[in-house]
A and B are shown apart, each in its own frame.
Chain A
Amino acid sequence: MTQAVRASAPTLGEETRAIAVRPWYRIPTLVIGLGLAVAIAGLALLAPVLTPYNPTMQNLNQILLPPSSAHLLGTDQLGKDVWAELLYGARVDLQIAFIAMLLPLVLGTTFGLLSGYFGGVVDAVVMRAVEVIVAFPVYVLIIAFVFVLGPGATSIYIAITLVSWVSYARISRGEMLVAKTQEYVLAARSAGLSNVRIIGRHILPNTVTQSIVFATSDVVLNLLMIVTLGYLGLGIPPPSPDWGRMIYQGQSFLTTNWQLSTIPGVAVVIVGLALSLIGDGLADLLRRE
Chain B
Amino acid sequence: MLEVQDLTVEIRSGRSIVRPIEHISFALDANETLGLVGESGCGKSTTLRAIIGLLPRGGRIVGGRILLDGRDLVKERRAELQRVRGRSVAMVFQDPMSALNPLMRVGEQIAEGPRAVLGYSRGHAREWVADLMRRVGIPDPERRVNAYPYELSGGLRQRIMIAIALSSKPKILLCDEPTTGLDVTIQDQILKLLVKLQDEEGLSIIYVTHDLAVIAQLARRLAVMYAGRIVEVGSVRDVFAAPSHPYTLALLRCAPRADRARTGLTPIGGTPPDMMAPPSGCRFHPRCPLAVDECASGDFPLVTVGSAHATACIRWEECAQYAHKGLVMVRE
Contact = CB atoms under 8 A, between A and B. Distances in A.
A194 B137 contact: no
B283 interface: no
Given A4-B192, A19-B150, A191-B85, A14 B164 contact: no
Interface in A202-256: 202, 205-206
A194 B183 CA distance: 35
A224 B102 CA distance: 37
Interface stretch (B8-16, B90-98, B226-234): B90-98
Given A5-B137, A17-B152, A183-B93, A12 B185 contact: yes
Contacts of A15: 153
Contacts of A289: 102, 150
B144 A16 contact: yes
A258 interface: no
Contact of B99 (A13, A184, A288): A184
Sort chain B's interface into a size bin.
35 or more
Given A13-B183, A206-B102, A192 B137 contact: no
Interface residues of A, number: 34
B156 A10 contact: yes
B305 interface: no
A201 B153 contact: no
Contacts, number: 122
B171 interface: no
B85 A192 contact: yes
Contacts of B185: 11-13
Given A8-B137, A205-B103, A13 B153 contact: yes
A184 B102 contact: yes
A4 to B, nearest CB: 5
Contacts of B193: 8
Interface string B100-142: 1111100000001100110000000000000000000111000
Nearest to A195: B82
B75 interface: no
B192 A8 contact: yes
Interface string A136-166: 0000000000000000000000000000000
Given A10-B139, A184-B98, A18 B117 contact: no
Most chain B CB within 10 A, of A187, A197, A201, is at A187
6 contacts: A12-B185, A16-B144, A183-B99, A187-B99, A191-B85, A192-B83
